């Protein structure tokens, strides 16, 4: 049986990863739910690849190539939604 993940079980490691890997380059920007990570230049296509790898490793997921699109990585909220959806589908 798969582990049940709370919102914070997903968001806390995600926030930490974003802070450690991307946000330090943008000290004047505060990470929040709706911050447009792509428009603000915090993540780019390589960042999406790195973030995909992190999510797959951390949450034992496999993202389909069709899911690796900018819209799913645009905000913290969008990334959380992607992960939560994958985790729910796995537990069904």
CATH code at 55? 1.10.1200.10
Mean pLDDT for the stretch of residues 42-67: 97
Residue 2 lies in a domain: no
Mean pLDDT for the stretch of residues 20-33: 95
Residue 60 lies in a domain: yes
Burial class (CB in 10 A: 0-12, 13-18, 19+), 18: buried
| Residue carrying structure tokens 């330090």 | 24
pTM: 0.91
- Give the residue with greater pLDDT, 71 vs 91: 71
User: Domain count of the chain?
Assistant: 1
| Helix and strand element counts for the chain (H, E) | 3, 0
């Amino acid at each position: 049986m798969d582990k049940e993940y709370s919102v914070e079980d997903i968001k806390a490691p995600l926030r930490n990863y974003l802070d450690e890997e991307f946000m330090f380059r943008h000290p004047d920007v505060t990470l929040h739910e709706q911050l447009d990570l792509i428009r603000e230049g915090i993540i780019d296509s390589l960042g999406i690849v790195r973030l995909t790898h992190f999510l797959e490793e951390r949450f034992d997921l496999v993202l389909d190539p069709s899911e690796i699109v900018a819209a799913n990585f645009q905000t913290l909220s969008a990334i959380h939604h992607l992960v939560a959806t994958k985790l729910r589908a796995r537990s069904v």
